Structure 1
Amino acid sequence: MTGKILAERYELQRQLGKQTGRQTLLARDLETQELVVIKQLFLGSDFEWQDLKLFEREAETLKTLSHPAIPRYLDYLEIDEPNSKGFALVQTYVGGKTLEEHLRAGRTFSENDVKELAKSLLEILIYLHQCNPPVIHRDIKPSNILLDNRSGHTVGQVYLVDFGSVQNQAAKFGGTITVVGTYGYMAPEQFGGRAVPASDLYGLGATLIYLVTGLHPTELSQQDFRIKFADRTTLLNPNLIDWLEWMTEPSLSKRLSSAGEALRTLKNPRPIDKSIMPVQPLGSEIELTKNSEFIEIVIPPKGAGFGLISLFTAAVAGSLALWMKNDYDLLPLSWLLIVGFFLVACGVMFLFALFRELHLVIDRQQISYSSHLLGLKWPYARSTRRQDISYVEIEEVEYSRDYMQQKKFTVVGANVQGGDLKYQLGAKQGLSESEIEWLATELSQWLGLKFQITQT
């Protein structure tokens, strides 16, 4: 193939891609000495007229487009060779790698990278959707997005390629329905043969979800046809998670309707219900640290309450009373051991109350819960893998009934369920109800899990 001349002008360099009945080639234009991309469609045994219709539509669409982030139309050829008959579309060559290739090479994308990519692609979609008539790509996915010229802290130049599934919105549907797109990135309405500008937003949202989770949309669970991804990433803040959920809303009427609106809401997120915004209660001494890598909660010592002070006082007084008999004879050794053990136990309880801190840490790998006392550290509960965390709950316990026979509940803990273990931050650790509710909200938002309320 290398060195072959097509149409007496294009010298073939190498194959870029191949599918049944078609291939994509890199070539050099001998007139301009520029590299070009040639897409070929062959008239073989597996040829379908619908393929030719889409191929010609791509060529006609590229003729009308002029955007620096979209390949430019150069030529359209008929191939009539002894062993090869078909058509060829020639367009400008765009360097760089696809997002798919970057991911397979191990590249990761930060929250800023994701936002930068989203803004660049939305600006391309604004251009396409504002054409007259609007141009809908219909197949936005990682393998159709190229990145080139990465420098410094920028994500690189972004290109949108492969308009082989494009639809001119002025096109009318006939007696057949054409389903075009890639499963996992197709909006639900595309399965019925319908595509609108918001359909491209769904594909973009699903693509960005793939970037932040490393998982194809089909590998993620769904609930009511919504992609559940928030629990698979710790990279994103709640506003960006909310925006991606809005972009991939299965209901067309509830999804962001235009690329312009999507860009505005990306820059200026819609407010999240203040009733679920985490606010640390006044006077709380809990220390909470969080970023994209981990969340850490440090619960300070509870302090010696009235009950513990009373117990310790009673223990000391009782020990002194038993220490001497009325005639000040010493107690037997067994009594001395019992009294000594009791005093040591009370002393340890005092130490724990006055100096022990509890640390709950969740990072990308695991959740750990440990006690820290006077420089010593030991597990408060067994560690669990991060991916085994299934939900966050606020636990309420029934404590009384009033004269109307209505149940009353008190909040006793914010629980994180990890595998077969439950990690509790609650009344036993000296937390107030408002602190418990605040921590449950912080944990659920950082983990991307909506917390539930259980009553026992």
Structure 2
Amino acid sequence: MKNKSLEKSIIAAKYKINYLLGQGGIATTYAAENLETKEQVAIKVLSLGNLNNWKNLELFEREAKILAQLNHAAIPQYIDYFQEDTEDTRNFYLVQQLASGKPLSEWIDRKWRPEETEVKELAIQLLEILVYLQQLTPPIIHRDIKPQNIIRQADGTVFLVDFGAVQDVDHHTVTGGSTVVGTFGYMAPEQFRGKASLGTDLYGLGTTLLYLLTRQEPDRLPQKNLKINFRSYVYLEKDFANWLDKIIEPAAEDRLTSAEEALAVLKGEKKLTFLGIKKNQSKKARRGAIASVTKRKSQLIIEIPGAWNYSSSCQFIVSLVTTYNLIWLLIFVIVIKSGLLQIAGFNLLLLGLIPLFCFLLGLGTLVYFYQLAFLNLKIKLDEKFLRVEKSAKLLNYRNLSHKEHINNLKRVRITHIGEPIFKNIWTTCSVETAYIIVHFGLFLSRKEQQWLVTEILNFSDFILLAE
């Protein structure tokens, strides 16, 4: 059932509908005017009577929730979200600033023929938007990058619109999966399985750029081994062609890992490397990285040395906690040696128990930080199991602290710890299974934590979750 046209009507005694902007699968978007401020806005309308799946309403509400959190010049500003009852249905309204310009698809229809340099400049703008979205906590994945959702002004400035397919970390688990959304031809292959990762939007960006360069829908271009073979269709400068090839890889693990990395490569700040590795093994280590990642055909190994070797923060905390425990232990020994406890009296008994209690309280913290400081951590994932090993070479110590079937893996994310005091200071990587949560990488940089989590997600084909 089609949405009833609202053109020329007044919504909520505040917004005057001017004309239709677009008709989607479940919602209709209009250009309107705020009668109070005279501001031009875009109103997206979802009618309850047109719903054939409650998931669509959830997606619509999620879009409003996420847009309200965004603040970027290239993303039309969220203004309002409300609902209104009519005689025969209930309508939901999402109001944003109106992005002036035309969709890329309309520019192409109007015979716009962008040069390669223009396409690269447009790609840089879009990547900067994606970098912003991916650096949020939690990261945001648009999941529907396509020409119709990119508005271009005459001066070349672009806006990213229609966050109806957007996914944040609060709406994905391995067991539950996520809704299959996107547009055929522009969707990354993993989206057909309800999956998404940071590289998913890169695929949509790449296919959009191909549409601009070839003026053909991506699914009409020739393919080889399930990958779009655009080189026979359009001539591009070598570095740009290699970069484009890398972001449209059908396998998520073969793409560039994030918009930040893709932007650095496109700007020439980082070289695009095609790993000269054996067919079934590769070892990755970022420049200046503490951890190392080893990939085999069906195995991922992450190794992190004890934090005492590289983190001054760890050294300070371990020293502080050690000193704290020694002080309370010394006080307890002094109380015992003084003979005060031999004198009858409840108050004096407490005097002896207080330092003992404080010592035992600090002992648990000390053991935790000693493990982080002096034990090397190895996380192994393969087709069947997740294994966590801890070792110390000097002590000839090695322990398989946890082993669990890979199907029990629920989510992988970056979490904040130390609430409420240190919530914005301390973050750690976490792998959550059906039975435990494994935290690691507390003293690594945020970028390195992001890298490690992304490697696990790409290996497991799961979405990044964070709090």
What is aligned with 2:262? 262
Give how far 1:139 is off.
0.3
User: What are the residue-to-residue correspondences of 1:361-440 with 2, within 5 Å?
Assistant: none
Distance between the aligned counterparts of 2:273 and 2:204, measured in 1? Answer: 24
Shift in CA distance, 20/256, structure 1 to aligned 2, threshold 3 Å:
closer
Q: Pick from 40, 58, 62 the counterpart of residue 57 of structure 1.
A: 62
- Cross-structure match for 1:206: 207
2:45–2:92 contact (8 Å) kept in structure 1: yes
Alignment of 1:230-249 (within 5 A): 230-234=231-235, 236-249=236-249
**CA 1:170/1:39 → structure 2, altered by over 3 Å: closer, same or farther?**
same
Equivalent in the alignment of 1:359 = none
Q: Residues of 1 paired with 2:24 and 2:205: CA distance?
A: 24
- Residue type of the alignment partner of 1:94: A
| 1:329-368 map, 5 Å | none
Equivalent position of 1:285 in the other structure: none
SS of the residue corresponding to residue 78 of structure 1 reads strand
Paired residues of 1:98 and 1:144 also in contact (CA < 8 A): yes
Please say if residues 265 and 272 of structure 2, whose CA atoms lie closer than 8 Å, have aligned partners that are also in contact.
no
Match of 2:82 in 1: 77
Q: Retained in 2: the 8 A contact 1:184–1:218? A: yes
User: What is the match of residue 192 of structure 2?
Assistant: 191
Q: How far apart are the structure 2 equivalents of 1:45 and 1:17?
A: 16
Contact 1:169–1:196 (8 Å) recurs in 2:
no
> How far is 1:43 from its partner?
1.1
Check whether the contact 2:76–2:161 (CA below 8 A) recurs between aligned residues. Answer: yes
- Of 121, 124, 148, the residue aligned with 1:116 is 121
What is aligned with 2:435? Answer: none
Q: Identify the residue that residue 22 of structure 1 maps to in structure 2.
A: 27
| Match of residue 105 from structure 2 | 100
What letter is aligned with 1:157? Answer: T
2:133 matches 1:138: no
The separation in 1 between residues aligned to 2:59 and 2:44, in whole angstroms, is 13
In structure 2, relative to structure 1, the CA distance for the partners of 1:84 and 1:252 (3 Å cut) is same
Partner of 1:4: 9
Give the Cα separation in 1 of the matches to 2:215 and 2:98: 28
Rounded Cα–Cα distance in structure 1 between residues aligned with 2:272 and 2:147? 30
Q: State the SS of the aligned residue for 2:271.
A: coil
Structure 2: which 5+ runs fail to align? 1-5, 275-467
Distance, in Å, in 1 between the alignment partners of 2:272 and 2:212 is 25
**Between Structure 1 and Structure 2, whose CA radius of gyration is higher?**
1
TM normalised by structure 2 equals: 0.55
On the 8 A contact 1:58/1:166 being kept in 2, the answer is yes
Query: Structure 1: which amino acid aligns with 2:33?
Result: R
Tell me if the contact between 1:142 and 1:207 (Cα under 8 Å) persists in the aligned partners: yes
Q: Give the aligned partner of residue 47 of structure 1.
A: 52
Does the residue aligned with 1:270 lie in a helix, a strand or coil? coil
Shift of 1:22: 2.2
Partner amino acid, structure 1, of 2:8: G
Runs of at least 4 residues off by over 6 Å: none
1:215 counterpart residue number: 216
TM-score in terms of structure 1 length: 0.57
Note if contact 1:79-1:87 (Cα within 8 Å) is conserved in structure 2: yes
Cα-to-partner distance string for 1:58-77 (whole Å, 9 max, x where unaligned): 00000000000001111111
Structure 1 residues 171 and 22, CA, compared in 2 at 3 Å: closer, same or farther?
A: closer
Secondary structure in structure 1 of the residue aligned to 2:159: strand
CA distance in 2, matches of 1:250, 1:12: 42
* Residue deviations 1:397-452 (CA, integer Å, cap 9, x gap): xxxxxxxxxxxxxxxxxxxxxxxxxxxxxxxxxxxxxxxxxxxxxxxxxxxxxxxx
Deviations 1:281-340 (A, max 9, x none): xxxxxxxxxxxxxxxxxxxxxxxxxxxxxxxxxxxxxxxxxxxxxxxxxxxxxxxxxxxx
d(CA) in 2 for partners of 1:13, 1:54: 26
State the partner residue of 1:35.
Answer: 40
| Offset, 1:146 | 0.7
Query: How big is the shift at 1:172?
Result: 2.7
Q: Aligned AA for 2:13?
A: E
Secondary structure of 2:79's aligned partner? strand
Shift of residue 164, structure 1, vs aligned partner = 0.3
CA RMSD of aligned residues (A): 1.8
> Structure 2: which amino acid aligns with 1:213?
T
Q: For residue 205 of structure 2, what is the amino acid of its counterpart?
A: L
Q: Say whether the 8 Å CA contact 1:136–1:169 is kept in structure 2.
A: no
CA contact (8 A) 1:21 1:44 kept: no
CA distance in 2, matches of 1:240, 1:262: 11
Contact 1:26-1:38 within 8 A present in 2 as well:
yes
Q: How does 1:271-286 map to 2 (within 5 A)?
A: none
* Mapped partners of 1:226, 1:176: distance in 2: 25
Return the alpha-carbon distance in structure 2 between the equivalents of residues 45 and 211 of structure 1: 34
Deviation at 1:3, TM superposition (A): 3.4
Question: How far did residue 271 of structure 1 move?
Answer: 6.5
8 Å CA contact retained: 1:126, 1:259? yes
CA distance in structure 2 between the partners assigned to 1:146 and 1:209 by the alignment:
17
Measured at CA, do residues 207 and 75 of structure 1 come closer, stay the same or move farther in structure 2, by a change above 3 Å? same
SS at match of 1:162: coil
Separation (CA, whole Å) in 2 of partners of 1:271 and 1:177: 32
C-alpha offsets along residues 46-94 of structure 1, whole Å, 9 cap, x if unaligned? 4310100100000000000000000111111112011442211011101
Note the C-alpha offset of 1:104: 0.9
Matches within 5 A, 1:124-163: 124-150=129-155, 156-163=156-163
Pairwise CA distance, 1:21: 4.1
Alignment of 1:435-446 (within 5 A): none
